[in-house]
Amino acid sequence: MQSSKIAGVGYYVPKNVYTNNDLSRFMETNDEWIQERTGIKERRFADRLGETTTTIGVEAAKNAIERAGITAQDVDFIIFATLSPDYYFPGCGVLLQREMKMKEIGALDVRNQCSGFLYALSIADQFIKTGMYKNILVVGSEKHSFAMDFETRSRNVSVIFGDGAGAVVLQPTQKEGQGILSTHLHSDGADAEILAMFYPGAAANKWLPEKPGYPEQELGGLFMTTEQLEGGAALPYMDGPAVFKKAVVKFPEVIREALAANNLKAEDIDLLVPHQANLRISQYVQQLLGLSDDKVFNNIQKYGNTTAASVPIALCEAWEAGKIKEDDLVCLAAFGSGFTWASALIRW
């Protein structure tokens, strides 16, 4: 069976830079507080009206397609990972297909938050291996800023996230031992609520009316009240310490799983590109695996956490910086809301 290789990489980040000191104008925080807890110095925010999750995804896709040596017309499948879509529906995949004037190809949206890109990459890998598609565009794109609450009550969430997009083009390769060696996907919803955005949705309702005409007071809390909205019920929620504790267990676990599946060890890794959730998590995992600084790539300092976009942005930056060369062993890993976690081992 043929393998799949990453033939082109690309990324795009908005031009608007917001430092930690910029955020202190809106909420009670400061540069030292943010850097100590997350390692983040600044992040990018998209233009409020001129840029969307789809349009920044398009810019990353253009770059990846050009580097793969193909055109938008050659792409035969799209997988778009995001937690911040332009619309609740339809998904961003079809919007990107329209924007790039592609053929009437399939478009799949993945909603696995921080692990979304690796889930999407795994799906694309299977399609390539079976010969169903030849040029698959995988995009991770986020515009978090439109939904962030820049008040002190939300600072433990809002200081972390930024906007950006990354993309890769997957193609088949006949070269033995090259390309994606394996991918590993996991989930556990037992503690899903410690990192979640509860609305829109009806999870708080145990039932829905069987027929129209019920008085509003009998709808069991179907509608949010003004008091709930003002109290922040529609905002993202995160129990940071609890998430941290889970991440530092699952990150190294899924990396070691990928290595074991390929009869390799941590010292065989040429570059680890982790999801950029928190610099302290990356540093802990690095220490646990015994990797030197030159074998782990972090850029959360510049961009914050861009969830589904963070791995492809970091992968592209590392490649552009010459940190990834032919035949290098590259490990990608992510952990996020759900909880979901994943890894991919690639012989470049």
Residues β-bridged to residue 184: 343
Supply the pLDDT for residue 166.
Answer: 98
Third-level CATH fold of 3-173: Peroxisomal Thiolase; Chain A, domain 1 (3.40.47)
Supply the pLDDT for residue 211.
Answer: 43
Dihedral of CA 258/264/267/270: which sign? negative
Supply the pLDDT for residue 208.
Answer: 42
Supply the pLDDT for residue 232.
Answer: 74
- Calculated CA dihedral for residues 245, 249, 255, 256, nearest 10 degrees: 170
**pLDDT tens per residue across span 85-126:** 999 899 999 999 999 999 999 999 999 999 999 999 999 999
CA distances (Å), origin 154, targets 146, 148, 309 = 14, 8, 22
**pLDDT tens per residue across span 57-74:** 999 999 999 999 999 999
Supply the pLDDT for residue 142.
Answer: 97
The CATH number for 179-193+237-347, chosen from 3.40.50.300, 1.10.579.10, 1.10.275.10, 3.40.47.10, is 3.40.47.10
Catalytic residues, by residue number, are 114, 275, 305
Average pLDDT, rounded, for the chain: 91
Supply the pLDDT for residue 184.
Answer: 98
Blockwise average pLDDT, block size 10, the chain, 348 residues: 94 97 93 95 92 97 98 98 94 98 98 97 98 98 90 89 98 94 97 82 43 46 63 81 94 98 98 97 96 98 98 98 97 96 98
- 230 Cα distance to chain centroid: 29
Please report, for the chain, the start and end positions of each structural domain, with discontinuous segments joined by +. Answer: 3-173, 179-193+237-347
Supply the pLDDT for residue 224.
Answer: 61
Please indicate whether the domains covering 3-173 and 179-193+237-347 agree at the CATH topology level: yes
Token pair of 213, please?
A: 């005409």
Alpha-carbon distance of 167 to 195, in angstroms, equals 25
Dihedral of CA 44/10/314/307: which sign? positive
